[in-house]
A = this chain, B = another copy of it.
């Protein structure tokens, strides 16, 4: 199989790399040059009609996109250590927290990047006032996550999971685009230190 990806700071390929590192799976990425827009070229769109990275191509030519779906595929093939939960309730909680991180935190980070950041201004039509409004939304989301992390070590509960990987990559990308975690969020900061200390965070 071939894993098409891109280097940091792109948050989506990193999510899969961290997951593979946690699983102990060695699968080097085939890099696609996003600055040259190779991921939007017809050859790549034949693999992923949306032109997104990462994309996983299986030996029979089937392709899987969306980071969480790619990770779920590897979870099914290599169930241990579990990163999507094992019981029905654990699986539901990981799914719930992945979604909460995506909808509550990742979406406004993405909208800020898309509509307010100078880097994307030359590539896309920006609605700047809306884009800027997402800074406050992101800060509120981080405060909410801080409160949620007051009484549990990881985002979905007692165990490190896919939800931590989603939150870590989002918060690190947010930092890189200028949406820094406020200093007065001790639980979020302690969680960030905890997950960053894992070797997988270097991926």
A66 contacts B107, CB within 8 Å? no
Given A96-B66, A133-B127, does the pair A91, B73 have CB atoms closer than 8 Å? yes
Question: Does A100 sit at the interface, judged by CB under 8 A?
Answer: yes
The minimal Cβ–Cβ distance linking A45 to chain B, given in whole angstroms, is 11
Question: Does A89 sit at the interface, judged by CB under 8 A?
Answer: yes
Question: Does A190 sit at the interface, judged by CB under 8 A?
Answer: no
Q: Which residues of B contact A65 (CB under 8 A)?
A: 96, 100
Which size class do A's interface residues fall under? 35 or more
Chain A residues within CB distance 8 Å of chain B: 49-50, 58, 62, 64-66, 68-70, 72-73, 76-77, 87-89, 91-93, 95-96, 99-100, 103-104, 107, 115, 125, 127, 129-130, 133, 144, 147-148
Provide the bound-state CA to CA distance between A70 and B148, in Å.
Answer: 20
Residue of B nearest to A131 (CB): B130
Provide the bound-state CA to CA distance between A88 and B74, in Å.
Answer: 8
10 cross-chain pairs, A with B, having the tightest CB-CB distances, nearest first: A76-B88, A127-B130, A69-B96, A73-B92, A130-B130, A69-B95, A66-B99, A66-B96, A69-B92, A64-B92
A72 contacts B58, CB within 8 Å? no
The minimal Cβ–Cβ distance linking A15 to chain B, given in whole angstroms, is 13
**11 A–B contacts, CB within 8 A, in A order:** A49-B147, A49-B148, A64-B92, A64-B96, A69-B95, A69-B96, A70-B92, A73-B88, A76-B88, A76-B92, A107-B107
Given A72-B91, A76-B92, A95-B68, does the pair A127, B125 have CB atoms closer than 8 Å? no
Q: Which residues of B contact A72 (CB under 8 A)?
A: 91-92, 95
Q: Which residues of B contact A66 (CB under 8 A)?
A: 95-96, 99-100, 103
